[in-house]
Amino acid sequence: MSELNTLSNSLEHTLKDSDLQNVTIALTEVFADSLMEKGIAKEIPIIGTVIGFGKAAMGIKEILFLKKIIYFISELKNISATKRHEMIDKIDNSGKFRTKVGEKLLYIIDKCDDHEKSQITARLFSAFLSEIISYEEFLRASYIVDQVILEDLKRFVESGWEKEDGWKYRNEERDDHLTLDEAGNIATSGLVELVSPEVMVRDQDDWKMSEKYIVEGSELTVRITDIGKKIREILKSSLNGDKTT
């Protein structure tokens, strides 16, 4: 069996069957040998597997990946193993996805810039396990999170979309759109989408002008996407208070 298959099976086994109550982010400060001695590596298969693969040379890459794994699974401890098992089996047995959940999560976690992104992605996966979003929405949301710089994501989640926000009322009227300048770096992230500007054509009042018609249009703007709304709702309570540190 390849290392990838071993890791993906180990992660899936961990998510479906393990009691994750003892998995906390504090474990990331514990050396691999100590994790083995404390029995954590035996209780949580994926931790033991990662340590086992890197035992001969537990370098920076292996340590950072293990940290991302621990941050990820620590976010799922409040969901029962029964529920985790049910939801993962539902996807694996659906025949709709060629890649099993365990392997897909490995790809996603490995691509995370750091443990903070991994933890945020886990909160989205937790929302899938809790049936708040679909598996397809989780995959789309995790891709968007991967594309966005963390600070931009935090700004998007924490501000700018509530009724009381000042920019929502231009000229004392409700305005649900952002200008491109206001959207900044998230303009092409998938969190928001472009809104086609309104174009109006009217007759030229001044008959002496060479142009017969006047073309007027509104400024190009963006609005939050449906998946952007769901990402914001899921992450809002956890990012407010900086729980990812």
Parent domain of 54? 3-147
- Is this model's pTM higher than 0.85 or not? no
Q: Would you state the structure tokens that stand for residue 153, as one six-digit string?
A: 């994501």
pLDDT tens column, 151-194 = 999 988 887 555 555 445 555 555 567 777 777 888 889 998 88
How many domains does one find in the chain?
Answer: 2
pLDDT tens column, 23-34 = 998 888 887 778
Let me know whether 39 and 79 are in one domain. Answer: yes
Provide the H-helix boundaries in 75-114. Answer: 81-92, 101-111
Let me know whether 78 and 176 are in one domain. Answer: no
Residue 104 has what pLDDT? Answer: 97
Residue 118 has what pLDDT? Answer: 97
Residue 237 lies in a domain: no
Contacts of 12 (CB under 8 A, 6+ apart): 88, 100, 101, 102
Residue 245 has what pLDDT? Answer: 40
